[in-house]
Structures are given as C-alpha cells and as structure tokens.
Amino acid sequence: MRAAPTQEEVRRHNLGTLLRYIHIHGATSRAELTTRLGLNRSTIGALTADLTAAGLVTEKKEAPLRTGRAGRPSLVVRPESSRVYAYSLTIEVDSLHAARIGLGGRILDRREAPRPRGMQVGDAVQPLASFVHEMRADVPPGSRYVGAGLAIAGMVRRADGMVRLAPTIGWVDEPVGDALVEEIGDVGPMFVANIADVSAMVEHTRGAAAGRDNVIYLYGDVGVGAGIIVGGQRITGHGGYGGEVGHMVVNPDGQPCSCGSRGCWETEIGEYPLLRLAGRGDRSGREAVLAVVDAAMRGDWVAQQAVRQVGEWLGLGVGNLVNIFNPEAVIFGGTLRDVYLVAAAQIRSRLNEVALPACRDEIRLRTPELGRDAALIGAAELAFERLLADPLG
Amino acid sequence: MAATPLLELRGIDKSFGPVQVLHDVGLSIYPGEVTALVGDNGAGKSTLVKCISGIYTIDAGTVTFDGNQVAVNSPRDAAELGIEVVYQDLALCDNLDIVQNMFLGREKKRGLVLDEPTMEQMAGETLASLSVRTVKSLRQLVASLSGGQRQTVAIAKAVLWNSRVVILDEPTAALGVAQTAQVLELVRRLADNGLGVALISHNMNDVFAVSDRIVALYLGRTAAQVKTTDVTHSQVVELITAGRSGTIGLPPEKPAGAAGYTDITPPGADA
C-alpha cells in the first residue's frame, strides 16, 4: 500500500497548481483562485505568500473599475513576467527565432533570422547562440532564469532530444540541443521538441483549443506535422516520433516524397505542390505561399485552381484523421492557416464526404489564436514545466 | 452545441406594397455558433436582417428570443434585447477616435463630464477580449485605420454592450487578404465567446471557414437550414441558385402556368 502523501508533498502540489493557473490565465484575484482551485482562502493566502517570497508572483490591491460589487476588493495575484524568464528557440524551415519569454508566456525580447534552404546544423546553432548572448546582455539585474527550450520542424527522440530526421530541413541524426548548449554556454539543459507538438500544447492550454481535450493541431510549411492531443494528453508514441501525419500515404501513385516514400500527404498539401500547381515552382518559402493565397483571393484562376486542389487533399486527410481520433477541434497552423481560410469550402466539403457523421458532427475547424508565436511560447513552456512541477525546488 | 436557439424567427412575411419580399421565412441563431445567411442578390437577406433589427416591422410571423416571444418594433427594442447589427458601411465617424466611436450616443458620464478613463478601459478590455492586437492606440482617429481595423472597431462596438446576438453584413467585402483572415478569425471568436452570430456572405470560403450552420434563402423563402458538417460546397451553391439540392431544399417547382405564374409551396409541416 502506498503511503498517503506527506503534508510537504501536498503543499508542493498546491504551489504548482496555483502557479500554473497564474502562468496560464494571467492576473487573477485571490477570490477567483479560491473558487477555481477549490482551496480555502487561508490556504490560497499562505501559498501566494510563499510564491511571492520566492519572487514568482506579486500581489496588489486593485480598485475594480467595473465590477460594482460591494465589499473589500480582493488582492490580485499576477505572474512576475518581467523577472522570471526562459529562453526559447525555434528552427523552422525558412527562419530561426529566439526569444526571452517571461512567466505567463509573455514575450520580453525576440530575434529572428532567415534560414536559407539547405543550411547545415552548425550554421543554425551559431546565429541562435549569438541571439541568446545578445538577449542575455539586456536581462535586468535580479531576474531569475528558468531554463531553455527548442522547437524544431523535425522528429525528436524523446529520451535525449536527438533530432532524428528532419526531412524538410535536411538533417539526419543531429544532436542539435547539445550543440546549442555548448555554443551558448552556461544555459543548463535544453529541452527539445517538435514544433507541431509544442504549438498544439500551447493552443491547448491558452489558445484556440483551451478547455478542449481532443485536438489535432496541423502545422504546415514544406512538410506537414501534427500535434495530437487525446484525452488531454499529447500523443508522442513510443520513441516520441508520433504525429507525422504528413507522411500518411494518401496517393500511392503520387509524387515521390523527401522521405523516400511516394504519395505522402505532404506531397499533395505541402508548399511545393501548391507552388507547382500555381505555376510558381521556381519559388519557395512562406511568402511565396502567401502570394498564391493572395492571388487566389483576388481571382487569379490558376492560383484558385491550385488552392482548391490542395484544399481537396487537405480535406481528405483531415477526414481520415477525424475518423481515427474523433477530435473536438482541428487547428490549421503554419501556412495551412492561410490555405484553410481561402480553401475552406473545398476542405469542409471533402471532410464532410470522408468523415463519418458521428465523428464529424461536432468538429470545430479553427485557426491558431496565438499565430506564429505559439511555437516560441511552446518551446519556453518546455523549460517552465520544471518550475511549475516544483516552484520552490 | 446548444440545443435551443437564442433567436428564432418563424413564418416571417414582409411585403412592400404589392411586392411580397419574404414568404414564411424561418431562421434560428444559436449561442456559441455562427449561422451563415446565404442567398443570391434579392433573395431577401438584407430585408430579413432589417426585420430582426427593428428597422422594418414584420407583417406576419413570430420572433422568439431566449425562449420568450418578443415584438421588435424599433431598433431600440432590438438593442434592448441585445441584438446588434454591423452593416457593410460600418457607420463609423472618421473624425472621432476609436473610444469615441465605440461609445457614440451612449457615452459614460461621471457627474457632468464624460468619464473618459472608464470608457477607454472598457474599450481596451473589449478589444483585448477579442484578441485584437492590430490597433496601436485607442485614441487613433478612425480615419487613420485600415479597412480591416475599421471592421474590427465596428464589431467591437457591437460587442461592447453585452450584446447576445451580433449580425454581420458582408464583413469581409472590400478587404485585403490578410485583413479578411483577421476578420474571419474575429467572427469565429465572437461565437466561441458565447454570442449568437449571424454572418451574411456571398463568399463560400468565408461561409465554410467559420459557420456552424447555413441558412439558404431563395426568392424570399428559406430553402434550407442545415449544419455545415452535413453539406458540400456544391449543395450550398445549388440551394442558393435553385432553392434545392437533391432531397434538401424547397420542393420541385411545378411547370409555370399560362400567366407565367409559379406556385411554390413553402416548406415546413407546421406552416
């Protein structure tokens, strides 16, 4: 028989729960915390006092301008966003991003650089490391560093953060996290995860899928990946590689894929097929995709046919995923957001044909609420997770 | 999804002199959902909206709000129920700033003077609740805003008054691509925040991108009210252009009589 949790364990758990609530929901009054967390007033008071002493939150009396309720105004607890921070890095197909992110998910500082196609791992590590060095120089004194996270458009081994195969970026078996830690220096462990996974996590906690526990987040650029949340848990699979929906074969007679197979979903809905269909096969990148979407919306016939065809394939794949997972929401991220908004008629129609009525009945198709920042905030979330598990540890 | 409509119209008739524009029209708007109102030019979409907002009075039919039968005889009645309409022309004043526009005609006062801090805070909170990040300052003149930002301000103005039903007339017409995307996401967010939203649009992508239900009007009649998960693009186009598609929609037309007169039997067993 397992021993009952000690008082100390209960307190640590409650501290973590309270800090997590403030981290996700922002400034909250003590009165509201009491109702939301189901703890009594004095417990909330003691917990916030501990967190305040640790420099993680502040408490302030605020004159409510509008509530019009009688009684003493409750203290408002807010996260120490400008003092407690993590570094967040992302390696996307066309760009490198670095940010300093405060508790509560606030972006305090950010840097961005283009990433030419075919750039090698060493070449990506250096600019990211120098971004961190730059941002580190501006950190106000008295700040508290929590950790660092990296989100990457590739498959990541859960055990050690090894990037196994990033077909769209062109690496095989690269210890990117370790290389970054070495280059940056004095940064602690670097948590590495797939970009679709962390974006899904962020949209699930504080974005378009908040409060929904069965969600598929599709992230598209050259390739297509998915962060899949089932029953409130992220599905990563045995080794951490799950969710590679872009390599689901939808057209066995289709185009060869960068992974070596043929007719993968991303060979029909990724950036290259869209540009090829639009007669712009000589271009590449996010801007080129947005230019096709723009042309389609303005009535360019070739561009319209291209987004419609991509929309049909997109709807077909989503229909299959809906049958398998029965999600409450499907979120279209990356450039798929823009494709969704201009080809929704095709996507929805095909989805309605493919998906079973019971599975599609309550489906919500959404675009991300946090836009392109989701990946950065999500990468920081990897680092904050340790703090939230044990705030005073 | 909600089972009972927030706003329900049944058997609405409306004539202008000898011309009957609406025949036995039905429309249901549910909280937390976007209901798209589609139809060809002259199908009666705008007339129907003006009946809901109290600009026109209806000749026959019932309006139920929140389960209670109500009479909407003027725009004031509609506003009191919490029904706001955002028209295509937006009705914003270029020479006033964002806060002044949002409170135009309903200014907050503290004693004899305007309560600017409260109005500014309420305007800011409303825009924040809609995750609007594109507006730099609340004290910007509306004249300096882009088309998409104006649409955003007009929508925020409608939401500010604890409204429960917001009706948007072609909100993405005349907008650029990036702004259209933002406005569509805003429309979706209104419903996700719990409002009942009606979206009038000619653009099938807009309709499929954000709606939960589609109501098709055809020559002043409700051809069909369907869930967006149950129809395809081509079916909706057929409903708009022919009034029916397969088994859904109005019954088949009888051959036209000698006088060119066509008898179209309206749908609905309870009619």
Q: Answer whether A363 touches B (CB < 8 Å).
A: yes
How far from chain centre, in Å, is Cα A60?
A: 31
Residue B144: its pLDDT value, please? 87
Q: Residues of chain B with pLDDT > 90: what percent?
A: 45
Rounded to whole angstroms, the Cα distance separating A85 from B142 reads 37
Q: For B133, name the nearest residue in chain A, comparing CA atoms only.
A: A370
Question: Which position has the higher pLDDT, B266 or A73?
Answer: A73
Q: For residue A169, what pLDDT band results from cuts at 50, 70 and 90? A: low
Span B173-224, pLDDT tens digits = 878 888 888 889 989 999 998 999 999 998 999 999 999 999 999 999 999 9
Cβ under 8 Å to B: A residues 65-124: 65-66
Residue B268: its pLDDT value, please? 53
CATH 3.30.420.40 in chain A: give the residue spans.
85-198+373-389, 210-366
Q: For residue B161, what pLDDT band results from cuts at 50, 70 and 90? A: confident
Q: Answer whether A367 touches B (CB < 8 Å).
A: yes
Residue B259: its pLDDT value, please? 46
Q: Answer whether A299 touches B (CB < 8 Å).
A: no
Q: Under CATH, which architecture does the B1-82+165-271 domain have?
A: 3-Layer(aba) Sandwich (3.40)
Span A263-310, pLDDT tens digits = 999 999 999 999 999 999 898 888 999 999 999 988 899 999 999 999
Q: Are A362 and B32 in contact (CB under 8 A)?
A: no
- Taking an 8 Å cut-off on Cβ atoms, the answer to whether A297 and B206 are in contact is no
Q: Is the dihedral of CA B245, B251, B257, B259 positive or negative?
A: negative
Residue B254: its pLDDT value, please? 56
Rounded to whole angstroms, the Cα distance separating B46 from B200 reads 9
What is chain A's length? 393
Span A319-343, pLDDT tens digits = 999 999 999 999 999 999 999 999 9
Rounded to whole angstroms, the Cα distance separating B101 from A38 reads 42
User: What is the full DSSP assignment across A148-216?
Assistant: EEEEESS-B-TTT--EEEETTTTEEEE-HHHHHHHHH-S---EEEEEHHHHHHHHHHHHSTTTT-SSEE
> Nearest Cβ partner of A345 from B117, B118, B204?
B204
> Nearest Cβ partner of A360 from B121, B189, B229?
B229
Shortest distance between the Cα of A240 and any Cα of chain B, in A, equals 32
Q: Is the dihedral of CA A169, A170, A172, A175 positive or negative?
A: negative
Q: Are A206 and A21 in contact (CB under 8 A)?
A: no
Shortest distance between the Cα of B228 and any Cα of chain A, in A, equals 8
Residue carrying the six token digits 């008739």:
B13
Average the pLDDT over B69-91 and give the result.
87
Span B228-256, pLDDT tens digits = 999 999 999 999 999 888 888 888 765 54
Tell me how many degrees the CA angle A71-A75-A81 measures, rounded to the nearest 5: 155
Q: For residue B31, what pLDDT band results from cuts at 50, 70 and 90? A: very high
Cα separation values, B270 from B20, B26, B27, Å? 21, 11, 14
Per domain, the residue ranges of chain B are 1-82+165-271, 92-162
Q: Are A125 and A138 in contact (CB under 8 A)?
A: no
- Taking an 8 Å cut-off on Cβ atoms, the answer to whether B207 and A345 are in contact is yes
Average the pLDDT over B74-99 and give the result.
86
CATH class of A7-79: mainly alpha
Q: Are A274 and A307 in contact (CB under 8 A)?
A: yes
Which candidate in A215, A310, A331, A352 is best for mutational testing of the B interface (most B CBs within 10 A)?
A352
Residue A69: its pLDDT value, please? 52
Rounded to whole angstroms, the Cα distance separating B251 from B248 reads 8
Provide the β-strand partners of residue B200: B37, B169
- Taking an 8 Å cut-off on Cβ atoms, the answer to whether B209 and A340 are in contact is yes
> Nearest Cβ partner of B177 from A293, A337, A366?
A293
Q: For residue B257, what pLDDT band results from cuts at 50, 70 and 90? A: very low
Tell me which fold the domain A210-366 belongs to: Nucleotidyltransferase; domain 5 (3.30.420)
Q: For B234, name the nearest residue in chain A, comparing CA atoms only.
A: A349
Rounded to whole angstroms, the Cα distance separating A221 from B30 reads 36
Span B91-109, pLDDT tens digits = 788 888 888 888 887 788 8
CATH class of A85-198+373-389: alpha beta
- What single letter denotes the amino acid at residue B189? R
Q: Residues of chain A with pLDDT > 70: what percent?
A: 93
C-alpha neighbours within 13 Å on the C-beta side of residue A256: 2
Rounded to 5 degrees, what are φ and ψ at B61?
110, 170
CATH 1.10.10.10 in chain A: give the residue spans.
7-79
Q: Is residue B2's pLDDT more than 70?
A: no
Across all residues in chain A, what is the average pLDDT? 89
Residues of B in contact with A360 (CB under 8 A): 229
Q: Answer whether A332 touches B (CB < 8 Å).
A: no
Q: Is residue A65's pLDDT more than 60?
A: no
Rounded to whole angstroms, the Cα distance separating B51 from A143 reads 59
Q: Are B170 and B36 in contact (CB under 8 A)?
A: no
- Taking an 8 Å cut-off on Cβ atoms, the answer to whether A369 and B188 are in contact is no
Q: Residues of chain A with pLDDT > 90: what percent?
A: 57
Q: Is residue B32's pLDDT more than 50?
A: yes
Here the ipTM equals 0.83
